[in-house]
Chain A
């Protein structure tokens, strides 16, 4: 209810800055709303929450809020509309459609026309909200066209206020301003914006409709009161959210990105529809309200937590791409992790320690390659062992093929007295070669465990945590 009232107030503010279409003569799509008591209202539907209410701006610019339960049907009555006028349909499953409402029958169907002249029929229960977006086209003979500079400034100011608060950027380390202070500043800026709007509205009041403007000014005052209350609520509780990537589907993040897209894209920047601004600001204000009622937490703790999270992320970045923890890396990790709590340091250790000793050992069963050691990051060993083994194999192969027929093993005959006696085989070059191969092969199976233990012990020392027993 509170957000709806705020929404209406902001519609009024925007109306001051930009009078209704009828006043400046732009062509727009008009809708005819038939009520249960037989009355029919024509005008522009600014917002429609299915099953709740409908906000209609009629020919004279008056804004009416009609209860949804009394609406019998809505149909668009004229085919005259400019390209900048359309409705935004928010569906319950997270989809957004832009187009024009063609027909709406409560309890029946809702038909809309989207770009490409495509008709889509929806179940009205699927539609959460319909917002009308209109960007009037100034014409040469338009009396009192809205000042584009003033309007753009106002639009930018409002958007920047919200984006400045919620933009997901990394906070500067030296930035000591609290969120409460920045929020208060933003509210002050918004109040200025509202005052400006009020002054602008007073000018219109002189020319057009005094009652209309009095209503607007009341709305503005209510908005200021609400914002002040919001600021007080923030001071009472303090913010608890930490900055950083949010979960998918986070409405706060979505709202912020919606605003960012609206303000950042050049086409949006120049042709920013006012109702879209209203929607965006409304969303952001809802977000602020949620922000204000979040359970209390110490702001200092939040800051420390944020700083620790950043440091942890930096250490993770350092360690995640390296399998061998060299002295420079260890020194840097040691410095960075000095201020972290032990639990966090242990968590970093457990995340980055080598667990792959057994896998590497199994892969090392393939002779010569030392594939497991290579994958483990023990590349010096893998290369040395592979080259040595390959050389020995090659040498053994060439000797064997060259002297295979002459090779008599190690048998030798020795004359003892008058007879000859066969001696037991004695080691020769090839035997030594096979022995070296055997030893290196067995060593390559053990090496991954030793390597894991060594690297893990080094990492533990760098992170200043105690470990016991073999670390693989």
Chain B
């Protein structure tokens, strides 16, 4: 009886310990969700001291807590490619003016172009002429459905303990969406134009182009 209880005790404790260590490992692996999912290039401590709406208790908008690719999976942005552009300013008035004047239509064209070319770069066997021409067409296309969804700014305090320096900066973001169907139409036009003007030189390149087109059909 005593021996049995002792064995059971050891077994339970060992099991619980294993679960405890495993759980801790899982938590560490996932990590906390960042409040603002955006890059930061400052080496030091960055503290957000103020943001748009903080004075009246508004929360940080949800689109700032996710990366744009994650936003595209949400119902709110269904059927759109979402791009977030960052702006910086030394004072709030200047930054707000820049946010207000942001040429989102042109920047959306460039963003679609960059994303498409990133995908094209991953495809081996494409000629430079084909990619360049498709890129030029994409850069020339604007989107009637490009829409400025929202903007947001933060006031950050920068402290670098090593250099014993302090500073502040304002960062702003503009959220822009482009309907997927329009982006796909632009891709198709760019592909067809480049394919017509730069016919493939050999079968390998033709296959690579077909593969690229198949990828584009699935989306950016």
Do the two chains belong together in a single complex? yes
Across the interface, do A94 and B19 meet the contact criterion of CB distance under 8 Å? no
Does B52 interact with chain A (Cβ within 8 Å)?
no
Interface residues of A toward B: which range? 35 or more
Residue among B1, B105, B196 having the largest count of chain A Cβ atoms under 10 Å:
B105
CB proximity of A166 to chain B, nearest CB, Å: 14
Interface size on B, residues (CB 8 A): 49
Does A95 interact with chain B (Cβ within 8 Å)?
yes
Does B90 interact with chain A (Cβ within 8 Å)?
no
Does B115 interact with chain A (Cβ within 8 Å)?
no
Does B42 interact with chain A (Cβ within 8 Å)?
no
CB proximity of A87 to chain B, nearest CB, Å: 12
Across the interface, do B149 and A245 meet the contact criterion of CB distance under 8 Å? yes
A interface majority secondary structure? mixed
Known: A254-B147, A400-B9. A97 touches B141 (CB 8 A): yes
Does B202 interact with chain A (Cβ within 8 Å)?
no
Interface string of B94-132 (1 = CB under 8 A from A): 000000111111000000000000000000000000000
Known: A94-B182, A120-B189, A245-B149. A368 touches B1 (CB 8 A): no
Interface string of B135-174 (1 = CB under 8 A from A): 0110111111111111000000000000000000000000
Does A253 interact with chain B (Cβ within 8 Å)?
yes
Across the interface, do B10 and A261 meet the contact criterion of CB distance under 8 Å? no
Q: Which residue of A lies closest to B20 (CB)?
A: A368
Instruction: Name the B residues within 8 Å of A245 (CB-CB).
Output: 149-150
Across the interface, do B6 and A407 meet the contact criterion of CB distance under 8 Å? yes
Which residue of B79, B143, B149, B193 is within 8 Å of A95 (Cβ)? B143
CB proximity of A290 to chain B, nearest CB, Å: 17
Known: A114-B137, A367-B19. A253 touches B182 (CB 8 A): no
Does A472 interact with chain B (Cβ within 8 Å)?
no
Does B5 interact with chain A (Cβ within 8 Å)?
yes
Instruction: Name the B residues within 8 Å of A261 (CB-CB).
Output: 103-105
Does A423 interact with chain B (Cβ within 8 Å)?
no
Does B13 interact with chain A (Cβ within 8 Å)?
yes
CB proximity of B145 to chain A, nearest CB, Å: 4
Q: Which residue of A lies closest to B141 (CB)?
A: A95
Across the interface, do A369 and B23 meet the contact criterion of CB distance under 8 Å? yes
Instruction: Name the A residues within 8 Å of B149 (CB-CB).
Output: 245
Residue among A94, A98, A266, A369 having the largest count of chain B Cβ atoms under 10 Å:
A94
Known: A94-B181, A95-B185, A248-B145. A400 touches B10 (CB 8 A): yes
Does A321 interact with chain B (Cβ within 8 Å)?
yes
Across the interface, do B185 and A93 meet the contact criterion of CB distance under 8 Å? yes
Across the interface, do A257 and B148 meet the contact criterion of CB distance under 8 Å? yes
Which residue of B10, B57, B139 is within 8 Å of A116 (Cβ)? B139
Within 8 A of A (CB), among B20-67: 20, 23, 57-59, 62
CA distance A396 to B13 in the complex (A): 9
Interface string of A421-435 (1 = CB under 8 A from B): 000010000100010
Known: A118-B133, A367-B16. A96 touches B144 (CB 8 A): yes
Which residue of A94, A120, A366, A400 is within 8 Å of B137 (Cβ)? A120
CA distance A408 to B3 in the complex (A): 9
Across the interface, do B185 and A118 meet the contact criterion of CB distance under 8 Å? no
CA distance A407 to B100 in the complex (A): 76
Does B179 interact with chain A (Cβ within 8 Å)?
yes
Across the interface, do B139 and A248 meet the contact criterion of CB distance under 8 Å? no
CA distance A263 to B38 in the complex (A): 29
Within 8 A of B (CB), among A94-124: 94-99, 114-116, 118-122
Does A371 interact with chain B (Cβ within 8 Å)?
yes
Q: Which residue of A lies closest to B194 (CB)?
A: A118
CB proximity of B87 to chain A, nearest CB, Å: 13
CB proximity of A326 to chain B, nearest CB, Å: 13
CA distance A253 to B147 in the complex (A): 8
Does A450 interact with chain B (Cβ within 8 Å)?
no
Across the interface, do A94 and B104 meet the contact criterion of CB distance under 8 Å? no
Within 8 A of B (CB), among A303-354: 317-318, 320-321
Instruction: Name the B residues within 8 Å of A258 (CB-CB).
Output: 105
Across the interface, do B142 and A98 meet the contact criterion of CB distance under 8 Å? yes
Within 8 A of B (CB), among A244-269: 245, 248-250, 253-254, 257-258, 261, 264-266, 268
Across the interface, do A320 and B2 meet the contact criterion of CB distance under 8 Å? no
Instruction: Name the B residues within 8 Å of A90 (CB-CB).
Output: 144
Instruction: Name the A residues within 8 Å of B13 (CB-CB).
Output: 393, 396-397, 400
Across the interface, do B185 and A94 meet the contact criterion of CB distance under 8 Å? yes
CA distance A401 to B186 in the complex (A): 71
Does A411 interact with chain B (Cβ within 8 Å)?
yes
Instruction: Name the A residues within 8 Å of B58 (CB-CB).
Output: 317
CB proximity of A98 to chain B, nearest CB, Å: 7
Does B197 interact with chain A (Cβ within 8 Å)?
yes
CA distance A90 to B137 in the complex (A): 15
CA distance A249 to B9 in the complex (A): 65
Instruction: Name the A residues within 8 Å of B196 (CB-CB).
Output: 121
Does B212 interact with chain A (Cβ within 8 Å)?
no
CA distance A254 to B193 in the complex (A): 27
Instruction: Name the B residues within 8 Å of A122 (CB-CB).
Output: 189
- The 4 A-B residue pairs with the shortest CB-CB distance, nearest first, are A114-B140, A409-B2, A96-B142, A93-B185
**What are 16 A-B contacts defined by CB distance under 8 Å?**
A94-B144, A94-B145, A94-B181, A96-B141, A115-B140, A118-B140, A121-B196, A248-B79, A248-B147, A248-B177, A249-B145, A254-B146, A257-B104, A265-B103, A317-B59, A368-B16
Using A94-B143, A321-B59, A409-B1 as known contacts, list a sample of 11 further A-B pairs with CB atoms less than 8 Å apart, ordered by residue number in A: A94-B179, A99-B140, A114-B136, A245-B150, A249-B145, A257-B147, A258-B105, A264-B100, A320-B59, A397-B13, A400-B10
